[in-house]
Amino acid sequence: MSKEISRKTWANPWSYREGSIVTAAILLLGFALQAAGGGIVLRVAAFPWNLIAGLIFLALLISAFMLWQKHPVIKWLGGIKAALPAILGFTFLVLLMGFVKQDVEPKSTLVRTLGLTHLVKTWPFILINLYLMILLGVVTLRRLTPFNFKNAGFFLNHFGLFLVLFSTALGNSDMQQVTLNCYENENEHNGLEASGKPTELPFEIKLLNFNIDEFRPQVTLIDNQSGQIVEQKGKGQYEMLDRNAIDLYNYHLEVEQFLETSGKVGEAYVTSNEPGSAPSAKVKVTSKNDGTVTSGWIYSGSYVNHPEALKLSDQYSLVMLPAEPRKFSSELSIQTNTGKQVTTTIEVNQPFHIDGWSVYQLSYNTEMGRWSNLSVLELVRDPWLPVVYFGIFLMMGGAAFLFITGKPKNGGNEHVA
């Protein structure tokens, strides 16, 4: 330690001091550039410029390593004394993101100037990423030459992370992400970017049918005075109407009839397929306190019809909540510009892939619920995805190595992951 204190800054071998200075300088430079640019949102150039820039970066990195691999600065770049301050610097930026809400309008000039509400698209973030990539690149090359199988775990972790950073940084500008509002039986050809700009797609999508499968609705008690849902410690607040006898607080419910889609006719509810029909149930409720029995209908209501509650006492009423979606799906007919024609059904977690695009089920008209004639789709094209995935799989392999070999023994000369 005393040797370290007496060493002059920038005299070889470099240590944490230089690491901290370099990291801090990068952050300061980044914020200065950001402020000088007036808080602009940055975007890496799109194909082919990003690919060219990436290849030049790799070429420079590898040739610099080949030429000067014995140089103490290159050794330092591939070591923990440069890496730890860099990791902390990056963590600092991500911490800022953890506290400042992202992707919103900045509230103050300072936040706007430094780009704190969209940090991932600012100079400091891009520069520190670049620096981390250099460190990861150098350390990977150092462990690769000469190659030794004992370094496999190390290689997987560090090179995997390098690839993920590299491909996400460069690929971001080639990614296209648009939403598409599809109404039943209408052809859609234009998606909307997040900015609101329309984008023409290389295919046409027609929504043949939109389907929702709902859970049975839940019932709960509300207070007649306040209209609030009753809460009691230690008791379940909601019960799902998926069986014939239910206990809710001090009431016993018997479901005499349940209609999945219904409307009111006179004093009762009948099955109906009119748009706006909603679930209803005829229930017999017995109070466990005084044995009073109340019978009647409850109705969850919809964008067309009012809900109906059942008054149980002066204090409480029984209400049915709107049914929640279990699954929603869209049957689509897709006609590509290249002449392909397919019919498919997509749902949440089950996208469809065609010509480099993925089609996701995003949303629908939630107010209309099961009667929605609108399906909102998201379409994403991400040509760099295979590289990102390759990086992710390498890191998974690396994690497996960490799990199997654990902490390196013999001062890290063996099985370093």
Partner 1 sequence: MWLDYPIYASVAILCWLAASGIFLSSGKKMLNQLAAGLSFVGTAFLLVFMLILWLRIQRPPMRTLGETRLWYAIFMSGIGLISYLRWKFKWLVSYSLGLAMVFLIINLQHPETYDKTLMPALQSPWFIPHVIVYIFAYAMLGASSLVAFRNLFFAPTDKIVKGPIQMADNLVYLGFSFLTLGLLFGALWAKEAWGHYWTWDPKETWAFITWMFYLVYIHYRFRHPSEHKRAMGVLAVAFVVLLICWFGVNYLPSAQNSVHVYSE
Cis, peptide link before residue 146, omega less than 30° from 0: yes
Does position 413 interact with partner 1 (CB under 8 A)? The reply is: no
Q: Decide whether 243 or 311 has the Cβ nearer to partner 1.
A: 243
Q: Which of residues 1-60 bind partner 1 (CB under 8 A)?
A: none
Distance (Å, whole) CA 229 – CA 319: 9
Q: What is the CA radius of gyration of the chain?
A: 31
- The site for partner 1, by CB under 8 A, has a size of 61
| Residues recorded for the chain | 417
Does position 349 interact with partner 1 (CB under 8 A)? The reply is: yes
Residue 365 Cα distances to 179, 181, 278, 302, 374, angstroms: 14, 10, 15, 12, 6
Q: How far is C-alpha 16 from the chain's CA centre?
A: 35
Q: Which two tokens stand for residue 233?
A: 């410690």
Quote the least distance from Cβ 4 to partner 1, whole Å: 12
Q: By rule CB under 8 A, what string of x and - marks binding of each residue 189-228 to partner 1?
A: --------------------------x--x----------
User: Do residues 358 and 311 make contact, with C-beta atoms less than 8 angstroms apart?
Assistant: no
Number of helices followed by number of strands (H, E) in the chain: 9, 17
Does position 126 interact with partner 1 (CB under 8 A)? The reply is: no
Does position 271 interact with partner 1 (CB under 8 A)? The reply is: no
Q: Decide whether 132 or 312 has the Cβ nearer to partner 1.
A: 132
Q: Which of residues 71-100 bind partner 1 (CB under 8 A)?
A: 80-81, 83-84, 87-88, 90-91, 94-95, 97-100
Q: Decide whether 36 or 348 has the Cβ nearer to partner 1.
A: 348
Does position 166 interact with partner 1 (CB under 8 A)? The reply is: no
Among 284, 327, 336, 345, binds partner 1 (CB under 8 A): 327
Residue with tokens 């080949």: 66
Residue with tokens 């039943």: 184
Specify burial of residue 156 (Cβ count, 10 A radius: 0-12, 13-18, 19+). Answer: buried
According to DSSP, the residues that pair with 270 across neighbouring strands are 263
Among 62, 348, 386, 414, binds partner 1 (CB under 8 A): 348
Distance (Å, whole) CA 417 – CA 415: 6
Among 223, 256, 324, 355, binds partner 1 (CB under 8 A): 324
Stretch that binds partner 1, among 279-287, 297-305, 308-316, 387-395 (CB under 8 A): 387-395
Q: Which two tokens stand for residue 399?
A: 């994690």
Distance (Å, whole) CA 3 – CA 12: 12
Does position 368 interact with partner 1 (CB under 8 A)? The reply is: no
Residues that bind partner 1 (CB under 8 A): 80-81, 83-84, 87-88, 90-91, 94-95, 97-102, 120, 168, 177, 215, 218, 233-238, 240, 242, 324-328, 347-351, 358, 360, 362, 378, 380, 385, 388-389, 392, 395-396, 398-400, 402-403, 406-408, 411-412, 416
